[in-house]
């Protein structure tokens, strides 16, 4: 009797079905909490600058990669593009190569349907929901390129390609944790210098504020519009029904995500109990 009780109390490992369901729910939760940084138009007609694109992201942020699309007509088929979106190492990024001798090579998107909508959402997550998915860590840099030349025959070539001719490459910096110290090579924020009173007038010295060099890519990347500060006249506050309706809409949207996750979880549990 005692041995039977011990056998009933033994812990067993969860089945692969439960692990799969848990990973999917965790992925959906991260996907709903993250924000979309930009939409990158992954085609050779976009402007990638002289050194490619560069982004700074947080964990759980996401970027949408859009494949080139052209109408399925006689003229449109002449402008069809075939290319890939591949994660590589820094050496592969510098040499515009997807040769495995340079390190990691992971093709995340293949643009081989030029007459259809084809895109990929790159989620910067720490834990992948499925085997083979990319993972990201704080304070690290990740590299993406395409070595295709734009034609169907050159879709899977491993050297140069549009990475070399059109600078089609992307560099993503994952920001450090809020509690981490400033990485080496970055100067901390300067405080206002204190001035001492002297007997003779002196000209206050102001330190020029240095800003990091930024490059805008009007065609290759589409970011959300930013609100600029403009002087406006103060007007008495009134109850705006439109603002109230927008707040209610945002609240309903948040609740809808929660209800969707709960409904999916309930459906998965019923499916597992029935099988």
| pLDDT tier at 130, thresholds 50, 70, 90 | confident
Asked whether 272 and 21 are in contact (CB, 8 A), the reply is yes
CA distance 264 to 50: 46
Range among 6-20, 175-189, 218-232 with highest mean pLDDT value: 175-189
249, exposed or middle or buried, with CB in 10 Å at 0-12, 13-18, 19+? exposed
Task: List the single range of 32-46, 184-198, 254-268 with lowest mean pLDDT.
Answer: 184-198
| 185-234: pLDDT as tens digits | 555 554 444 445 444 544 444 444 444 444 444 457 766 545 444 444 44
DSSP output for 43-102: STTS--TTT-EEEEE-TT-EEEEEPP---SSTTGGGG--BEEEEEE-HHHHHHTB--GGG
Q: What is the mean pLDDT of residues 93-114?
A: 97
Sequence-ordered list of residues with C-beta below 8 angstroms from that of 158, at least 6 positions apart, any chain: 97, 98, 99, 147
Q: Which fold has domain 33-181+216-224?
A: Immunoglobulin-like (2.60.40)
pLDDT at 81 over 80: yes
Q: How far apart are CA 58 and CA 121, in angstroms?
A: 15
78-106 mean pLDDT: 97
Element (H or E) spanning 123, and its range? strand 119-123
């Amino acid at each position: 009797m005692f041995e039977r009780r011990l056998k009933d109390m033994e812990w067993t490992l969860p089945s692969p079905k439960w692990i799969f369901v848990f990973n999917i729910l965790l992925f959906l939760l991260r996907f709903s909490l993250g924000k979309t940084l930009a939409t990158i138009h992954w085609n050779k007609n976009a402007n990638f600058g002289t050194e490619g694109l560069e982004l700074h992201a947080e964990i759980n942020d996401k970027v949408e990669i859009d494949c080139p699309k052209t109408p399925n007509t006689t003229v449109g088929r002449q402008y069809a593009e075939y290319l890939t979106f591949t994660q590589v190492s820094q050496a592969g990024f510098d040499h515009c190569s997807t040769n495995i001798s340079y390190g990691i090579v992971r093709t995340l998107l293949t643009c081989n349907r030029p007459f259809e909508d084809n895109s990929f959402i790159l989620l910067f997550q720490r834990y992948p929901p499925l085997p083979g998915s990319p993972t990201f860590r704080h304070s690290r840099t990740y590299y993406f390129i395409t070595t295709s030349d734009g034609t169907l025959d050159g879709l899977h070539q491993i050297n140069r390609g549009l990475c070399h001719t059109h600078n089609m490459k992307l560099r993503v910096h994952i920001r450090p944790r809020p509690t981490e110290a400033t990485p080496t090579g970055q100067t901390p924020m300067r405080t206002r210098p204190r001035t001492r009173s002297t007997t003779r007038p002196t000209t206050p010295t102001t330190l020029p504020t240095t800003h990091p060099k930024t490059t805008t890519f009007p065609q290759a990347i589409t970011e959300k519009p930013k609100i600029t500060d403009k002087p406006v006249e103060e007007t008495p506050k009134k109850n705006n029904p439109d603002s109230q309706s927008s707040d209610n809409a945002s609240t309903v949207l948040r609740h809808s995500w929660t209800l969707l996750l709960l409904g999916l979880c309930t459906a998965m549990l019923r499916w597992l109990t029935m099988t």
